[in-house]
Amino acid sequence: MAFKDLFNDTNVINEKNVVGFASFTIMILFAIVDVVAGFLGIELGIKEFIYNSFAFITLGCFGIDGLTKIFRKPESL
């Protein structure tokens, strides 16, 4: 599968999950770097609103995907 196939309407990849996972990964990296910097005595300059933005993106992506699975219309036979 090529990168351009991600933008196709008939792909099998859920884009909301991809964005949510990427945002969650960045949040985890921020946390690890912050803990390591704290042990080294370095103050890390990550602004709180940037971290909160990634948190909202993560919750939004996974929340929207969860709601679409819960309230999905039953398939017609």
Instruction: Please state, in angstroms and rounded to a whole number, the distance separating the CA atoms of residues 6 and 18.
Output: 10
The domain tally of the chain equals 1
How many residues in total does the chain contain? 77
- pLDDT for 25 equals 92
In a domain, 40, yes or no: yes
**61-71 core/surface letters (b: 16 or more CB in 10 A; e: else):** bbeebeeeeee
In a domain, 24, yes or no: yes
In a domain, 62, yes or no: yes
Instruction: Please state, in angstroms and rounded to a whole number, the distance separating the CA atoms of residues 24 and 53.
Output: 11
In a domain, 2, yes or no: no
- pLDDT for 39 equals 92
Q: Which domain holds residue 54?
A: 15-70
* pTM of full prediction above 0.75: no
User: In terms of pLDDT, which residue wins out, 10 or 53?
Assistant: 53
Instruction: Please state, in angstroms and rounded to a whole number, the distance separating the CA atoms of residues 39 and 23.
Output: 25
In a domain, 37, yes or no: yes
DSSP state at residue 62: H
- pLDDT for 1 equals 63
User: What is the tens place of the pLDDT at every residue in 1-13?
Assistant: 677 776 777 777 7
Q: Does 70 score more than 60 pLDDT?
A: yes
In a domain, 65, yes or no: yes
In a domain, 10, yes or no: no
